[in-house]
């Protein structure tokens, strides 16, 4: 499969249609272990029943979501057997799911945060229903300020957010010490919320060379 074409097709599937489709995919792929009945989806995303029904039918027909029945209720869920499941889930997480929500909720502290990134199961695309969101924050914002800012995001995403907050100099010191936690975070998969790989390397200097992954 042509990767660039595949990414373009996924982007078209997600962004090239209606806001209703985007909201449905964000809900189902953002909570891929959960199944929702139709009116539950309607209430959660805040769109009308008719548009939601149309989009769900189309997404079911192409195999992106799956339909199941339990008793007299019909449920819909992200389809883990879809060939685009992993890529679509990753794309949603990085764009309309967790990342955008965290970026928005941290906006009030953006002048005091130089780097914020997601690590752990969410970044690897291996999260389960009750997985926490692991977040590394570097800057002058205090732990209490970050926790307070993240409150709304935690409610919206329905997941506990576990921030680890470092002042810049302490972060650099931990890298120099090759602290096991920092080493594991930086050598694993990461999703940048504030800042990017360039900013991470700038903070860490030459010590980070060869450690980070994109």
Going from the first residue of the chain to its last (214 residues), give the mean pLDDT of each consecutive group of 10, the final group possibly shorter. 48 64 87 91 88 94 94 94 89 75 90 94 80 94 97 87 96 93 92 89 66 42
Q: Are residues 69 and 155 in the same domain?
A: no
Q: Are residues 29 and 125 in the same domain?
A: no
Q: Are residues 70 and 172 in the same domain?
A: no
**pLDDT score at 210:** 42
d(CA 84, CA 9): 10
d(CA 70, CA 12): 32
In contact, 27 and 101? CB cutoff 8 Å: no
Radius of gyration of the chain (CA): 19
**pLDDT score at 75:** 98
State whether the Cα torsion 147-150-154-160 is positive or negative: negative
d(CA 52, CA 13): 15
**pLDDT score at 140:** 97
**pLDDT score at 10:** 60
**Closest C-alpha among 52, 73, 55 to residue 13:** 55
Within 62-136, residue ranges assigned H as helices are: 85-95, 98-105, 121-124
Q: Are residues 161 and 128 in the same domain?
A: yes
CA count, 13 A, side-chain hemisphere, 139: 21
Whether 200 is in a domain gets the answer yes
Q: Are residues 114 and 69 in the same domain?
A: no
Q: Are residues 204 and 104 in the same domain?
A: yes
Q: Which domain holds residue 184?
A: 97-208
Whether 142 is in a domain gets the answer yes
For residue 206, how many other CB atoms are within 10 A of its CB? 7
Q: Are residues 128 and 76 in the same domain?
A: no
Whether 91 is in a domain gets the answer no
Threshold 0.85, pTM exceeds:
no
Write the CA distances from 156 to 18, 27, 109, integer angstroms. 21, 11, 19
Whether 92 is in a domain gets the answer no
Q: Are residues 62 and 16 in the same domain?
A: yes
Structural domain total, the chain: 2
**pLDDT score at 81:** 95
Q: Are residues 197 and 103 in the same domain?
A: yes
């Amino acid at each position: 499969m042509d990767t660039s074409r595949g990414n373009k097709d996924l982007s078209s599937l997600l962004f090239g249609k209606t806001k209703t489709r985007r909201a449905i995919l964000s809900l189902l792929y953002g909570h891929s272990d959960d199944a929702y009945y139709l009116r539950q989806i309607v209430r959660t995303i805040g769109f009308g029943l008719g548009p939601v029904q149309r989009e769900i039918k189309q997404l079911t027909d192409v195999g992106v979501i799956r339909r199941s029945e339990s008793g007299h209720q019909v449920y819909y869920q992200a389809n883990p057997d879809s060939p685009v499941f992993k890529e679509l889930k990753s794309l949603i997480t990085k764009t309309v799911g967790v990342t955008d929500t965290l970026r928005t909720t941290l906006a009030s502290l953006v002048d005091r945060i130089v780097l914020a990134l997601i690590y752990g199961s969410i970044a690897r695309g291996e999260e389960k229903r009750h997985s926490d969101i692991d977040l590394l924050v570097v800057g002058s914002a205090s732990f209490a300020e970050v926790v307070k800012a993240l409150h709304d995001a935690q409610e919206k995403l329905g997941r506990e957010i576990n921030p680890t907050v470092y002042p810049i100099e302490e972060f650099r010191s931990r890298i120099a010490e090759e602290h096991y936690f920092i080493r594991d975070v930086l050598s694993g998969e990461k999703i940048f919320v504030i800042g990017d790989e360039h900013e991470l390397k700038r903070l860490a200097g030459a010590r980070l060379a060869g450690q980070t992954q994109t």
